[in-house]
Chain A
């Protein structure tokens, strides 16, 4: 098996079946050093199965995975020394405080930089003295992120990391991910939320029904990434003016309301709309499935 020198994660024919349920079938994937890799798919697509196999929590029916060039099963302990993990359905010890959780997990890692943990807690606005049982789901998620980041791992595997985080903390999380990437560390994060992946990822894999449907650079996917925009204007607007803009299509006008599809940057649309008296503006994110069909429909 040849592994690219740059591949932090190398997955070769990974398959996991539970009886007649095919959770994952013949997955082949490389994730490179310093990359922020998005792992996208609807619920039940096999994202968590992939992650749990990489972490050696479940064993593949066939195929294998290498992390840092080491076998994910045979060398699991050595891999986990350099890996930070945030499970999708995070459970922590309810009777412990945030600090107790970190101290416990830190001791299992042979010690932890408490100053850095304090910094992370400050940035994520986490009260570490609170008992886990008294934490909201968002606070537990923050604690989960802190334990995943606290030892500055070379590889972060995050399963739906922003689930339950409020928008402000999500922004902090995106900053942290960008910092980690700039330090040459690698992030593998699953999500079913395309805008989130769009924020931080360099490449994205799309999983459907346990099979890898596509691996694309985010910049390529963005070319077809569109939104539906609706503008309610005070007075009539000329649909032709909007239609003439790059990336705008399918314009319809009715009683001062314009609805159209925008692909790429919003800037030209905003500048044109600013010439009118805008009463309301809304836009809808497309589903992952729609983007996927769009991408492969056009290619």
Chain B
């Protein structure tokens, strides 16, 4: 098709400020946090009882472990891998809503779909751009983390490849967030409602997964439905990407993406 890639390129170009600000911001955050490893890990060293409390378990899950926290892998998995997807969640949801909902609510979708492009192409090209945008943001975060490791003698044993791998491991979980926003915006046809439902699912998933580590019986089954359960930062830092979990998250993304196209192809475009 003669118009292939036009929307993809436009979406990337329009997102250049967001990519740079989120990416550089998260890169600086990673750099700062990793260079503070010696002092912070020391401060938390004697706090094992505190970290085992339900409050910290809810926020940190398996990372609420003083012994692990004192190690470079545990520290990086907490400060970088556990928290960064939560920060990126805001941007990922915005990007997911940007695929259809923003244009539909502004009314520009009527003009866009006045040109000879099928509806599915709008979703495919914009979603491909979202994938690249999140990859770039996480890459910039990874560059900040690499610099942090290089500048901190206490992290000298950390493999630089593992740090980049860890950055990449955050991609599917953030893509799930964007895909949820896309799916709900195509089904609910309201940007605000889609943002609210997606936010609620992300928060619920995060806490259910973390709390399941202390309430295995009560939350064991339901935690399997939580997408966060398929994201294990500590395991990634210790042994590399857990590919089975990575694949499950990719399947969730693909399913949400497919359902979004299905719903969008069949429904009316709002005025």
Contacts and interface: CB of A to CB of B under 8 A. Distances in A.
A80 B115 contact: yes
A78 B116 contact: yes
Given A89-B271, A91-B106, A109 B115 contact: yes
12 contacts: A55-B113, A57-B113, A57-B268, A77-B116, A78-B116, A81-B116, A87-B111, A92-B111, A93-B108, A107-B3, A108-B117, A147-B111
Contacts of B7: 108
Interface string B96-129: 0000000000111011111111100000000000
Given A80-B115, A80-B116, A110-B3, A59 B268 contact: yes
Nearest to A76: B118
A89 B107 contact: yes
Contacts of A91: 106-108, 110-111
Contacts, number: 71
B107 A104 contact: no
Contacts of A104: 6, 10
Given A91-B111, A147-B111, A108 B268 contact: no
A45 B111 CA distance: 22
Nearest to B108: A91
Interface centre among B2, B110, B114 (most CB of A within 10 A): B114
A92 B268 contact: no
Size category, A interface: 20 to 34
A77 B2 CA distance: 13
B271 A85 contact: no
Interface in A68-92: 76-78, 80-81, 83-85, 87, 89-92
Contacts of A147: 111
A179 to B, nearest CB: 21
A90 B268 contact: no
B269 interface: yes
Interface residues of B, number: 23
A90 B107 contact: yes
Contacts of A109: 3, 115-116
Closest 5 CB pairs of A and B: A91-B107, A110-B2, A85-B114, A108-B115, A58-B268
A206 B268 CA distance: 25
A105 B111 contact: yes
A241 B22 CA distance: 81
Interface in B1-45: 2-3, 6-7, 10, 14
Contact of B114 (A48, A87, A89): A87
A95 interface: yes
Contacts of B107: 87, 89-91
Contacts of A55: 110, 113-114
A78 B114 CA distance: 11
B116 A58 contact: no
Nearest to A91: B107
A90 B111 contact: yes
For A48, A55, A83, A93, the residue with the greatest tally of chain B CB atoms inside 10 Å of its CB is A93
B265 to A, nearest CB: 10
A83 B118 CA distance: 14
A92 B6 CA distance: 17
A89 B108 CA distance: 10
Nearest to B3: A108
Given A55-B113, A57-B268, A83-B114, 7 more contacts: A52-B269, A76-B118, A78-B116, A80-B115, A87-B110, A91-B110, A104-B10
A82 B2 CA distance: 15
Contacts of A111: 2
A193 B6 CA distance: 38
A7 to B, nearest CB: 21
A58 B3 contact: no
B111 A57 contact: no
Contacts of A78: 116
Nearest to A18: B268
A163 B166 CA distance: 55
Contacts of B112: 108
Contacts of A148: 114
A76 B268 CA distance: 14
Contacts of B117: 77, 108
A48 B115 contact: no
Contacts of A90: 107, 111
A95 B112 CA distance: 15
A110 B2 CA distance: 5
Contacts of B118: 76-77
